[in-house]
Amino acid sequence: MLTTRALLLDMDGTLVNSDAVVERCWRRWAVRHGLDPEEALKVVHGRQGYATMALLLPDRPMEENYADNRAMLAEETATLDGVIPIGGAPEFMAAIAGLPHALVTSADERLATARMGAAGLRMPETRVTAERVGASKPDPEGFLKGAAELGFAPADCVVFEDSEAGIEAGRAAGMRVIGIGPRAGAFAPDALVRDLRQIRVEAAPDGLIRLHLTA
């Protein structure tokens, strides 16, 4: 069991399974730029697109990465086939509806709205999307901003993440991290679950949130 006062939720791979769309789009992008798609897919998850492009094409001007990122966001927003909720996500989102929580995602507002809608999930009222930060995960800016907007210290927050970049960002923010899914297991989160069906949420009278992790 973990206790906390606020929850900070990544979207892709954590609440929404969008891997099919993400990987289709990034495979095409990698081939267009003469890169090995399999190698590209090792670094795409969790980061904003321009940050991924900068890793894969380190000598390319950043202006070109920003332009490609805008095109990629538009393509991903228009491509929702295969976007489904992570196991247990609808029930989890219902359980935390009255508790302090925020979405912290590398997607922009339009893409986040499209994917949460496609997965049939409620959009959190508090959210930190790509256009609201100056640095992509693994920079902790997004999680720190989410905590501040909820009114809690970083140590009072638990992050839910699936990717290396996201787990690093949560850790750098001084927060505990629950890893979601097999991708997270390689990056030493504080706790690991297969999906959200393994988490039961209990609201305590003193304002604490108890997270019961089950097998």
Q: Within a 10 A sphere around the Cβ of 124, how many other Cβ atoms?
A: 22
Is the Cα torsion angle 83, 158, 129, 98 positive or negative in sign? Answer: positive
Q: Contact, 179 vs 192, CB < 8 A? A: yes
| Catalytic residue selected from 10, 68, 156, 162 | 10
Nearest to 133 by CA among 160, 108, 102, 166: 108
Radius of gyration (C-alpha) of the chain in whole angstroms: 17
Q: Is 162 a catalytic residue?
A: no
Task: Return left, alpha or beta for 99; rule: phi > 0 is left, psi -120 to 50 is alpha, else beta.
Answer: beta
What whole-number distance in Å separates Cα of residue 162 and Cα of residue 183? Answer: 6
Active site annotation includes 59: no
Taken in order 119, 181, 38, 188, the sign of the CA dihedral is: positive
**Long-range contacts, 201-208 (Cβ 8 Å, 24+):** 201/92, 201/95, 201/96, 201/99, 203/98, 203/99, 204/3, 207/5, 208/3, 208/4, 208/5
Active centre residues (catalytic): 10, 12
